[in-house]
Amino acid sequence: MATAGKPMALLVLADKPENPQVIKYAADEFQRVIQKATGVKIAAIPERQLNRQLHPDLARIFLGPCEATRQAGVDARRLPANGYLIRSGTRRLFLCGKDGGTDHPRNYHVDMGTLFAVYEFLERQVGVRWLWPGDLGEFVPRQQHVVSGVWKTRSLPRLMQRYWRFEASLHHGRQAWSSEASVYNYKLGVYKWLRRHRFMRRHNLDYAEAFRDYWKRFGETRPELFNLLPNGKRQPDGGRSQHVSMCVSEPELWKQVVVDWRANRTAKLPWVNCKPNDTPGKCVCRRCLDWDVRTDTAAATAAARKAFVAENRDGWSWPGHLGSLSDRYAKYLLAVQREAGQFDKNATVISYAYANYSRPPTATVLNNRVVIALASSLFFPYTDETSREFRSDWKGWSATGARLVFRPNITLGSHNMPVHYARRVGADIQHAFRHGVLATDLDSLTGMWATQGPSLYVVARTQLPVDKTVDEILDEYYGAFGPAKAAVKQYFDFWERVTEPVTRKRWQTIVNRYQRQDPDGLNFRTFYKAAHEIYTPEVMNQGRRLLQVAAERASGEETASRRVGFLAKGLRDAQLTLETQEAFRGYRKTGKRSGFDAAARRLRAFRHSLEKDYVVNLSYVSFQENMTWGGRD
Ligand SMILES: [Zn+2]
């Protein structure tokens, strides 16, 4: 393809591609990476010019379905969207996929099989690794020769969607970015990174909660649809009507769900949406309780009633006394499926496993026309206990016969602090994928690339059929740091050890303490308020020392040095965040705000210097921090 600084191949583009933007983008990606690897730019021409070209010495790389693929019998037409073929022959290579749509491949809904073929080729044959967005995060090993290798690959998409929510972490607007252009550039870099890791949405699973507007629609006329609370009333708990839970054993509810489905279903969203609102199951009517599996209903309801009366009304704790409601919710899904089956015998229902119906049902068998998005367990702190629980939930739900969507929240945790849960999350994802997965939907990519990079990299890589252990995937990441490889590994291993003593129990004790002291409490959004309990000055010093070692090792190599520098910026950002929160605590205590103002200024100035670097997502961090630091004087 390229040897001793000379191009040995020509890139040939389809004349009439399904989606010309996919082919153009795929060619750009291909050319850029080959040039980084060899210093050689491979020329690209449309197929119709091929005969007029006099390049007898050049091998040909055909991008996308074209005349040459037809003649060679490399047929992507019958592949599903995003599927692709890679074939090599005598002085020819075909990178040929099922493309479609009319949009740029930075958008999820575009079909981009040819681009994915290019990425697989570049990863396996050239050794490119996309650690984080932007140029510095792209690792391309330098080489004298790149050859095409021998290929006979047919890749079909395993998942309906491979999705990592990202928009939500930017929807807070410009926040700490100094211009819209900076936000745009950041966003563009992240979309490119996601595509390089083959995130795509052949079908989307954008079913919102099904009952958000039910109280508005039926609150006055049809109370029987709603939960019976321990106070004997059928109404929203705590007044937030979009979070009301339903009386899921009520036949009129099943009928209404099916009426809604028949009125609203589309070719893109064909399933019966049964997703409960964002709250635990709360109905204590006789019929719902009889659907549950538990040993002592009288004791459970008495405890729930007592907690209901005592609770300040967030509505999350008292239903826990009812135990697992998963059998109740599983029976509800079967009932809706039966109801919908009168109109379409293949009707598929979709719902969540969540809150007090996260655990697998113990007595109810489901079927493959039930889709469950499993949102349980995976969150900070990510401990052995977390992993065990997740795996047993996944296995249990899988055993019911339902099809599963991997929908964890783990990447929402820890704010911008250094965490390293890569080995746990990698092993858990591989475990889940071994037991069958229909789609993924991760909430959310907040984008703390410099302090959490290896974990994010592993989350992306383990969703692909890369056939590597998690340690081997991590080795790819650390390998990009050249002579500092071992030192960078030690640095991240240190962060793994730092959070090790934070058991769920210990973390809950901290959360409870903040709940008592602080009217706003502590949750994943305001993690930075308690971060100093884990990230003590000694811990942060040790982190800096380890990074210093890495910097010394990398000092002879420019790119490796800059990559270590990137990690150091993340650590500095975390340090300044800790200092600002400490100053804020001082201000709350004394009423004097000059120290806090100075610390906040330092943080702001530092972040201004990071705008082009992908170190942190400035929208996300500043929005969450301003919930505490902003608007108070
Ligand atoms: Zn009920």
Tell me what pLDDT residue 57 has. 84
Which of 406, 432, 451 is the endpoint of a domain? 406
For residue range 265-308, what is the model confidence (pLDDT) as tens digits?
999 999 999 999 999 999 999 999 999 999 999 999 999 999 99
In this prediction, residue 633 has a pLDDT band, given cuts at 50, 70 and 90, of very low
Tell me what pLDDT residue 144 has. 87
Residue 569 lies in a domain: no
**Count of domains observed in the chain:** 2
Beta bridge partners of 349: 272, 370
Give the distance (Å) from ligand 1 centre to CA of residue 346: 27
Give the distance (Å) from ligand 1 centre to CA of residue 226: 7
Q: 111 and 227 share a domain? A: no
Q: 109 and 245 share a domain? A: no
Q: For residue 426, which amino acid is it?
A: G
Q: 242 and 346 share a domain? A: yes
Lowest mean pLDDT among 43-57, 120-134, 390-404: 43-57
Give the distance (Å) from ligand 1 centre to CA of residue 408: 28
Give the ranges where 221-295 is alpha helix by DSSP (H).
Answer: 251-264, 286-291
Q: 382 and 247 share a domain? A: yes
CA distance 296 to 8: 76
Q: 95 and 225 share a domain? A: no
Give the distance (Å) from ligand 1 centre to CA of residue 337: 18
Expressed as residue numbers, the domain containing 152 is: 2-157
Burial level of 469, CB count in 10 A (0-12/13-18/19+)? middle
Report the mean per-residue pLDDT for the chain: 94
Residue 391 lies in a domain: yes
For residue range 354-396, what is the model confidence (pLDDT) as tens digits?
999 999 999 999 999 999 999 767 889 999 999 999 999 999 9
Residue 516 lies in a domain: no
Give the distance (Å) from ligand 1 centre to CA of residue 302: 16
For residue range 72-123, what is the model confidence (pLDDT) as tens digits?
999 999 999 999 999 999 999 999 999 999 999 998 899 999 999 999 999 9
Give the ranges where 528-593 is alpha helix by DSSP (H).
Answer: 537-554, 558-590
Strands (E), 98-185: 99-100, 111-112, 129-130, 138-139, 145-146, 152-155, 161-164
CATH number where 127 lies:
3.30.379.10
Tell me what pLDDT residue 203 has. 87
Give mean pLDDT, residues 601-618: 96
Q: 222 and 91 share a domain? A: no
Q: 631 to each of 175, 484, 623, 627, how far by Cα in Å?
A: 14, 43, 12, 8
Give the distance (Å) from ligand 1 centre to CA of residue 339: 18
Give the distance (Å) from ligand 1 centre to CA of residue 530: 39
| pLDDT more than 70, % of the chain | 98
Nearest to 366 by CA among 396, 345, 342, 341: 396
Q: 369 to each of 205, 374, 436, how far by Cα in Å?
A: 15, 16, 14
Q: 129 and 8 share a domain? A: yes
Q: 92 and 233 share a domain? A: no
In this prediction, residue 53 has a pLDDT band, given cuts at 50, 70 and 90, of low
Q: 34 and 139 share a domain? A: yes
Vertex 196: Cα angle to 270 and 406 (nearest 5)? 45
| pLDDT more than 90, % of the chain | 87
pTM: 0.95
Which string of DSSP letters, residue by residue, matches 451-493? HHHHHHHHHHHTTS-----HHHHHHHHHHTTGGGHHHHHHHHH
Which of 157, 186, 203 is the endpoint of a domain? 157
Give the distance (Å) from ligand 1 centre to CA of residue 171: 37
Residue 60 lies in a domain: yes
- Cβ–Cβ under 8 Å, residues 586 and 596: yes
Give the distance (Å) from ligand 1 centre to CA of residue 397: 23
Q: Which residues of 213-237 are buried (b: 16+ CB within 10 A; e: fewer)?
A: ebbeebbeeeeebbbbbbeeebbbb
In this prediction, residue 313 has a pLDDT band, given cuts at 50, 70 and 90, of low
Burial level of 207, CB count in 10 A (0-12/13-18/19+)? middle
Which of 406, 428, 443 is the endpoint of a domain? 406
Residue 321 lies in a domain: yes
In this prediction, residue 415 has a pLDDT band, given cuts at 50, 70 and 90, of very high
Give the distance (Å) from ligand 1 centre to CA of residue 249: 6
Give the distance (Å) from ligand 1 centre to CA of residue 26: 54
User: 238 vs 191, which has greater pLDDT?
Assistant: 191
Give the distance (Å) from ligand 1 centre to CA of residue 250: 6
Whether the predicted pLDDT of 52 surpasses 80: no
Beta bridge partners of 352: 373
Residue 307 lies in a domain: yes
Tell me what pLDDT residue 76 has. 95
Give the distance (Å) from ligand 1 centre to CA of residue 252: 11
Residue 265 lies in a domain: yes
Q: 361 and 261 share a domain? A: yes
Q: Tokens representing 444?
A: 């959310």
Tell me what pLDDT residue 4 has. 63
Tell me what pLDDT residue 314 has. 75
Lowest mean pLDDT among 234-238, 417-421, 594-598: 234-238
Tell me what pLDDT residue 7 has. 85
User: 242 vs 152, which has greater pLDDT?
Assistant: 152
Q: 126 and 234 share a domain? A: no
In this prediction, residue 632 has a pLDDT band, given cuts at 50, 70 and 90, of very low
Tell me what pLDDT residue 631 has. 57
Q: 142 and 229 share a domain? A: no
Q: For residue 590, which amino acid is it?
A: T
Give the distance (Å) from ligand 1 centre to CA of residue 102: 48
**DSSP structural state of residue 180:** H
Residue 33 lies in a domain: yes
Residues 6+ apart with CB under 8 A from 74: 65, 85, 87, 94, 96
Tell me what pLDDT residue 491 has. 98
